[in-house]
Amino acid sequence: MPGDDQKFLPAYLKLSAEERSEKVKRFNQIMHSCTFCPRSCRVDRLQGERGQCGVSADLYISSAGPHFGEERELVGGGGSGTIFFSNCNLACIFCQNWTISRGMDTDSPGSVEELAKMMLNLQKRGCSNINLVTPTPYLYHITAAIDRAAGAGLSLPVVYNCGGYESAETLKLLEGFIDIYMPDAKYGSDRRGETYSGVKDYFSRLKEALKEMQRQVGDLKIGSGGLAYQGLLIRHLVLPDNLSESEIIARIIKEEISPHCAVNVMAQYYPAYQASKFPPLNRRLSSLEYSTAREAFQKAGLRVL
Ligand code: SF4
């Protein structure tokens, strides 16, 4: 009997070409006074201005290829077709990809056409999905490339792999382009977000964004081959000394998002970028810190991957 995934059509193929094109146009217009993310810089990126993320209207991609280090549910035999975008709308002092997020890892700008070809090439290479890492500042380029690639045979699920600092209004406009939302849930308070990621309202915006993501795609769905094809998968990187406030995150997910939500509780923290200057972020996690955090999610009855 075919699994549900065999009847699955990616979100962007359920939109008409006209609907996709309207949304692409709207994303382009928004760049005149950018509000893609809650920083709401309102700079005119189409005139070359740059907001807090440091991105103008150009598209900068750091690298693309099959990635085998992602969650098992995203990898499969061909890997997750990962595209790393340059820069970021957050400024985490412990960023593990800081050369990419600080825009130090790119050379010349790319085009929408090249991004669409990249997606089709990842599909041709047997990847299980298109995994967009730090996509937020590039929503115009991404939706335009998906639109173009859809017309040329793209049929893989698209994963939105972000830091969790998203505007619910922008996500509403994005509806129909994304199959799997994979946001971080970094902290359980605005205060920690301000101290460690440079934004005043991380937790408030995270909750709104998670609600919108859940509304669009629901709980994580796994197909007959063990691969995710739709839904919400939250990542929680455990930080030393419970700076990541795991119990609060677990409770909020259970009470406000979904009691069946899939969560990857991540143990791989190490002091990167500027973390050595900010104790206790200057050390790795202890096994007790990790197991305590993981238990909080298990006790909440969530689906811990
Ligand atoms: S995407 Fe960049 S320019 Fe736009 S609001 Fe966010 S930080 Fe500002």
Residue (of 222, 243, 242) closest to 231 by Cα position: 222
* Pocket of ligand 1 contains residue 33 by CB under 6 Å: no
Distance 43 CA to ligand 1 centre (A): 8
- What fold characterizes domain 4-304? TIM Barrel (3.20.20)
Residue 215: which pLDDT band, with cuts at 50, 70 and 90? very high
Please tell me whether the peptide bond between 240 and the residue prior to it is cis, using omega within 30 degrees of 0: no
User: How far apart, in whole angstroms, are the C-alpha atoms of residue 65 and residue 304?
Assistant: 27
What is the pLDDT at residue 102? 79
Cβ 37 vs Cβ 165: under 8 Å = yes
Quote the pLDDT of residue 6. Answer: 67
What average pLDDT does range 248-266 have in this prediction?
98
In terms of Cα–Cα distance, which of 239, 296, 288, 285 is closest to 263? 296
Q: How far apart are CA 221 and CA 241, in angstroms?
A: 33
- Print burial letters for 79-92: b (CB count within 10 Å at least 16), e (below 16): bbbbbbbbbbbbbb
User: 126-165, pLDDT tens digit by residue?
Assistant: 999 999 999 999 999 999 999 999 999 999 999 999 999 9
Q: Which residues lie closer than 8 Å to 191 by C-beta, 6 or more apart? A: none
User: How buried is 28 (Cβ within 10 angstroms: 0-12 exposed, 13-18 middle, 19+ buried)?
Assistant: middle
* Token pair for 280: 């206790």
Pick the atom of ligand 1 nearest to 87's CA.
2
* Of the candidates 26, 57, 41, the residue with the CA atom closest to the CA atom of residue 173: 26
- Residue owning the nearest CA to atom 1 of ligand 1: 137
pLDDT at 210: 98
34 lines ligand 1 (CB under 6 A): yes
Q: Give the pLDDT confidence score for residue 4 in this predicted structure.
A: 63
Q: Classify the phi-psi angles of 48: left when phi > 0, otherwise alpha if psi is within -120 to 50, otherwise beta.
A: left
Query: Where along the chain do its domains lie?
Result: 4-304
Instruction: Provide the Cα torsion 227, 229, 233, 237; round to 10°.
Output: 50
52 lines ligand 1 (CB under 6 A): yes
Q: Which residues contact 69 (CB under 8 A, 6 or more apart)?
A: none
- Please report which confidence band the pLDDT of residue 174 belongs to, taking 50, 70 and 90 as the band edges: very high
Q: Residue 3 pLDDT more than 60?
A: no
Is 27 a pocket residue for ligand 1 (Cβ < 6 Å)?
A: no
CA distance 125 to 223: 20
- Confirm or reject: Cβ of 137 under 6 Å from ligand 1: yes
Q: What is the mean pLDDT of residues 88-95?
A: 94
53 lines ligand 1 (CB under 6 A): yes
d(CA 95, CA 2): 42
Rounded to the nearest 10 degrees, what angle do helices 139-151 and 17-30 cross at?
Answer: 160
Q: What is the rounded distance in angstroms from the CA atom of residue 159 to the CA atom of residue 182?
A: 7
Dihedrals φ, ψ of 106, to 5°? -130, 160
Q: Is 111 helix (H, G, I), strand (E, B) or coil?
A: coil
- For ligand 1, atom 6, the nearest C-alpha belongs to 37
Which amino acid is it at 59? L
DSSP one-letter string for 203-219: HHHHHHHHHHHHHHH-B
CB of 89 within 6 A of ligand 1: the answer is yes
Instruction: Give the model's confidence band at 8: pLDDT under 50 very low, under 70 low, under 90 confident, else very high.
Output: confident
| Percentage above 70 pLDDT, the chain | 97
pLDDT confidence bin for 2, thresholds 50/70/90: very low
- The mean pLDDT of the chain is 95
